[in-house]
Amino acid sequence: MVEHLTLNPEPVAHGARPVYQIERLSKTYARNRLVALSDVNLTIHKSEFVSVIGSSGCGKSTLLKIMAGLLPPTTGRVVLEGQPVVGPRRDIGMMFQQATLLPWKTTIENIVMPIEIRDGRAAARQARDRATDLLELVGLGDFANVYPGELSGGMAQRASICRMLVSDPAMLLLDEPFSALDELTRDFMNMELQRICTERGATAFLVTHSLAEAVFLSDRILVMKARPGHIVEDVRIDLPRPRTLEMINTPRFGEIVAHIRDLLGREAFV
């Protein structure tokens, strides 16, 4: 079974064009000479959902920050849609562990904020229709003019999905987006995320601590190990789509989870 799952590091091309390409990426923190990432190579294709999983300190957050243009790499090439990533870009949408909605702005004002920051208030006003559609998409149609203090944790994260999507980014970067939610809400949010990504053909990169979440959502899972941070294996998830919560109980799902757990080894739990 295990051999069955093991894949070549370069995934089988499925016709889709590459969206995000990373070659020979390394990151060394000058302050303590810590090698956070070493020789990371990665290609993400259009409409692909890729997750990275690994123990704390394996460099997955560093990888995400470099991909977002928030942190410069030490060596290597980082290219999104043919353009090198040398800073934050409007074609990257991000989502964080906390919803980070500004409490003094209404839900819809929060959602159009990326537009407001980049293009000004007039453009943000024009984006309101699009924001309203997005709110409908995530089932928050009635909450456009409510302040975030009145939203539940799951609703707030759904609003932050809208904020991520409002500028129609080519690449979604998700930094443990649902890890602060309770498990039932989390399952529901994963279903929602899958639906939204499928509907929009979104290309996404997810950092997570949850094996089940990674397997549930992903086409591929990158298993990372620390010291120095590197990709151990690129696991293709061959479960059919759309995925359902019932699949979590199937033997195939269990096999994949067991395989990744095996790869992570004891390191992941200490």
Partner 1 sequence: MTDISEESGDDTVWVEHEAFIDSIPRWVAMTFLFVAVVGIWDLVTRMGWVSAIILPTPSETLDDLIFVGGNLITGNYMLDALWTTTLTVFYGFVIAVAIGFSLGVLVGETKFGERAVMPYLVAIDTMPKVAFAPLFIAWLGFGIGSKVALAAFIATFPIVVATAAGLYAASENERMLFKSMGASRMQTLLRLKLPTGLPYIFTGLKIAAVGVMAGAITGEFLGGGRGFGALIRQSASQLDTPRVFALILYLSILGLALYFTVVWMQRRFVFWNKSDRPGGVA
Q: What residues line the site for partner 1 (CB under 8 A)?
A: 65, 68-70, 87-90, 92, 94, 96-98, 100, 102-104, 113-114, 117-118, 147, 149
Q: Answer for the pair 169, 93: CB distance below 8 angstroms, yes or no.
A: yes
Q: Which residue's CB is nearer to partner 1, number 163 or number 243?
A: 163
Supply the minimum distance, in Å, between the C-beta of residue 210 and partner 1.
19
Supply the minimum distance, in Å, between the C-beta of residue 94 and partner 1.
5
Q: Answer for the pair 125, 115: CB distance below 8 angstroms, yes or no.
A: no
Radius of gyration, CA atoms only, the chain: 19
Q: Which residue's CB is nearer to partner 1, number 89 or number 236?
A: 89
Q: Which residue's CB is nearer to partner 1, number 149 or number 251?
A: 149
Amino acid sitting at position 153: G
Q: Classify residue 81 as left (phi > 0), alpha (psi -120 to 50) or beta.
A: left
Q: Which residue's CB is nearer to partner 1, number 10 or number 104?
A: 104
Q: Which residue's CB is nearer to partner 1, number 11 or number 148?
A: 148
Alpha-carbon gap, residue 127 to 115, rounded angstroms: 8
Amino acid sitting at position 148: P
For 21, the token pair is 């390409």
Supply the minimum distance, in Å, between the C-beta of residue 128 and partner 1.
17
Q: Which residue's CB is nearer to partner 1, number 14 or number 104?
A: 104
Residue 84: cis peptide before it, omega within 30 degrees of 0: no
Supply the minimum distance, in Å, between the C-beta of residue 242 and partner 1.
29
Alpha-carbon gap, residue 220 to 205, rounded angstroms: 10
Strand 204-208 with 220-225, pairing: unpaired
**Other residues' Cβ atoms within 10 Å of the Cβ of residue 230:** 18
Supply the minimum distance, in Å, between the C-beta of residue 97 and partner 1.
7
Locus of tokens 């989390």: 186
Supply the minimum distance, in Å, between the C-beta of residue 259 and partner 1.
32
